[in-house]
Structure 1
Amino acid sequence: MACVRSPLDWSSGLPRELREIIAKKLPSGHDAASFRSVCWPWRAALPFARFAPLLMLPFDPTPTSPSPPEEKTVSFYSLVEEKTVSLPLPELHGKVVVGASRGWLALVDEAAAVSLLNPFTGSRVALPPADQRVAAASSRSVEMVGVGNDGGGRWVLRCSSGDVSSVTLDKMREVFFSEIVLSTTPGGDGCAAMAVLADSSEVAFCRVGDTGWTLIETNVECCVSAIVHCHGSFLAIGCLGEVSIINIAGDNDATPSPARPVSSLPEPAQMCHRSYLEVNGELHLVGIAIRAFHGEWPFGHHAVVYKCDLAAGETPVWSMVTDAGDMAMFMSKNFNSGFGGASVSKIKSNCIYLSEPTYGSDHSPELVDISTGMSEKIACPTMKGSEALCWIRPNLWT
């Protein structure tokens, strides 16, 4: 489907704080008022736009929240500027974020309508809505009730006990999509989306322009916990560490190839959380391992990193990473996935920027040294009882 809203002019579509950040990266003689005339130099002069992610902070998406939609803002923490900036994003009113990929957010509303939003340009693209088939793949029994001539209606969940409850925004990731991952930016040809379904060994697939989702069996032993896109294929990763390849290369109208299980990673002892990402064409795993100090509370924890070359054959070998060179990795527990990029000013190399809750009621992202596994807190606003949603790299060109 085509974008339903044209990209905003960059000089007016970004808040003042972000314009100032970008202006600092422009060649000498340019300022924030001359954006239109310097778009080509931007591509070379703005490592910030491609490689300096922002941490998206929690927001209230509910339609009944006190602020009217036009006043809705979302805050992001900038590592480069070491401060929080806010963007007016009324498009997030009444929607829940179910993915952050290629600089775009995947959103679902209470009608299970799915859309993609570039929060930095305002561009939007529609994806097919979720339906009973998607929910059934997650072993959920749902139906739409109260549909009138003007559409409307709402989803309800029927439990095995016979109880019926409304599928509200906070339940969308449990009933329909846990995470949506993109193969490329929606502005180009061939953009495909793959979705993790809650408690399911199946995944849902579509291309921009499709009218419905296609369910694909991944053949993992239990359920899919994460999806990563690598070189024309989606990698579905099971909760036990299995990796299944789904090839989507070729004709845009063709059905993806059947899933092909290739590898399993023996889980390191006492690893409590795993996230996956693609770095330089290789699948990487970042795991958080627990260290108990004589049984005392609180426990210590450290990060371990593995990589897997999928071109190595049917049973590729995982190896531990102790030096990622000039790369920095950005991990989000909320979507169990992440991405890597060459470090830029104020972004430390050979490190993991980890959005992970610590023990207790507060949440503070951490910076982890890959060579030692040791971590330190990032100096950003502490979130009482909440977790940051995700890291997102601004994409200003699509």
Structure 2
Amino acid sequence: MEDLEEKEFIFSVGTARGIYSLSTEKIYTLELPEAAGKSIRGTNKGWLLTLGINSETKLLHPLLGHQIWLPYLSICSKVTLSSRVLQDPTIMVIHGGSLGFARFGDQEWKKVESPSVVPFVDITYHKGKFYAINHVGAIFACNIDDGYTSGATGAPITSCPFNPVDFGSKYLVDSENDLWFLARIRGVKFFKPPHNMRVKYRTTHFSVWRLEPTVSEDGHETISTWVQKHDLGGKAFFVGLNASVSLSSSGWVRPNCIYFTDDISNLYFLDGGHDMGVFDVERGTIEQHFQGKSIHPFSPPLWYI
């Protein structure tokens, strides 16, 4: 294929999607008619969220072709499940900067009421609760009532220890019952006329922190503090337009590394598809995993795990 020879892979807008395998370093084509013409977000439990132009919203298992209807959504930036699909999970989403949740069979998304006045940017499920971080770095714990009859509340518990400026990104990661915060720093250059529709951007670094609770003499947790780390405890984190995931290292998954995709939509759709790589937390270096561009008119690349 001509595109592959040029190391630029343009994803089909038809029934096929391109998949790049980290283990084989090869590109595969997967027939996925259920996702044709839809944008996709990745979950933390092996399913995808598909959004149609008519706001039809479903969970899709891309290997089995199984689909599960969810309440309608017109937009969604992140989605996280509390458990595997067979265990009737609670599904938490960020839509339009707000938090919403639902379960299978619900007709609408219930809103999470919180004092946050700025958009939320990431969510994770940690120790039986959903946690969310907003644009200015405030972190909220979401409390859903036991009867699941009303909505939920989001209470601020802490703030992130480092707030990346401009086009930086923030992620929350649950890893072996620890809560981690990642700050992604990008360098951005906008071109002047007549090339003002072009922009160059590249991830330059990640700042990594772990929330460590302080335990009192009677054994109760008190105020937690963020501690900057220069390793991930031997794990690997995967971040992007999917729920952030922690994996044990293996033959092809490198320990203490952050695997990232090009997920900043307002730049991706302008001149993106290239800001992907592997950040080695111990060394502070970045290497590419996919050598080329990943381009799609309305569905940027994400991790499927």
Q: Normalising TM by the smaller chain, what interval?
A: 0.7 to 0.9
- 2:185, 2:249 → 1: CA distance? 25
Percent of aligned pairs with the same residue?
23
Structure 2 residue identity aligned to 1:109: G
Q: Pick one of 248, 264, 269 that aligns with 1:342.
A: 248
Q: Per residue, is there more strand in 1 or in 2?
A: 2
**Which shows bigger deviation, 219-228 or 266-275?**
266-275
Question: What are structure 1's unaligned runs of at least 5 residues?
Answer: 1-56, 62-66, 131-171, 394-398
Q: What are the equivalent positions in structure 2 for 1:239-258 lying under 5 Å apart? A: 239-248=135-144, 250-251=146-147, 253-255=148-150, 257-258=152-153
Q: Pick one of 282, 293, 301 that aligns with 1:382.
A: 293
Show the counterpart of 2:211: 308
- 2:201, 2:17 → 1: CA distance? 33
Give the Å deviation of 1:362: 5.5
Give the Å deviation of 1:196: 0.7
Q: Per residue, is there more helix in 1 or in 2?
A: 1
Q: What are the equivalent positions in structure 2 for 1:1-398 lying under 5 Å apart? A: 59-61=11-13, 67=14, 72-130=15-73, 172-173=74-75, 177-189=76-88, 191-199=89-97, 202-248=98-144, 250-251=146-147, 253-255=148-150, 257-268=152-163, 270=165, 272-289=168-185, 301-309=204-212, 315-332=223-240, 334-335=241-242, 337-356=243-262, 363-383=274-294, 388-393=300-305
Give the Å deviation of 1:365: 1.9
- 1:249, 1:274 → 2: CA distance? 28
Secondary structure of the corresponding residue to residue 122 of structure 1: coil
C-alpha distance 180-300 of structure 1, shift in aligned 2 (>3 A): closer
Give the Å deviation of 1:373: 2.0
Show the counterpart of 1:162: none
TM-score by length of 1: 0.61
- 1:288, 1:129 → 2: CA distance? 31
Structure 1 residue identity aligned to 2:294: M
Give the Å deviation of 1:106: 0.7
Contact 1:308 1:317 in 2 (8 A): yes
Secondary structure of the corresponding residue to residue 181 of structure 1: strand
Give the Å deviation of 1:273: 2.2
- 1:59, 1:356 → 2: CA distance? 14
- 1:129, 1:239 → 2: CA distance? 25
- 2:203, 2:29 → 1: CA distance? 34
- 1:299, 1:234 → 2: CA distance? 30
- 1:310, 1:318 → 2: CA distance? 9
Give the Å deviation of 1:84: 1.2
Structure 2 residue identity aligned to 1:372: R
CA displacement 1:282-309 (0-9 Å, x = unmatched): 22122223589xxxx9988222111224
Structure 2 residue identity aligned to 1:322: H
- 1:182, 1:299 → 2: CA distance? 30
C-alpha distance 103-300 of structure 1, shift in aligned 2 (>3 A): closer
- 1:314, 1:288 → 2: CA distance? 29
Contact 2:127 2:177 in 1 (8 A): yes
Give the Å deviation of 1:179: 2.4
Question: What are structure 2's unaligned runs of at least 5 residues?
Answer: 1-8, 189-199, 216-220
- 2:202, 2:105 → 1: CA distance? 49
Give the Å deviation of 1:193: 0.9
Q: How many pairs does the alignment contain?
A: 274
Structure 2 residue identity aligned to 1:348: R
Structure 2 residue identity aligned to 1:285: F
- Alpha carbon RMSD of aligned pairs, Å? 3.1
Show the counterpart of 2:191: none
C-alpha distance 302-329 of structure 1, shift in aligned 2 (>3 A): same
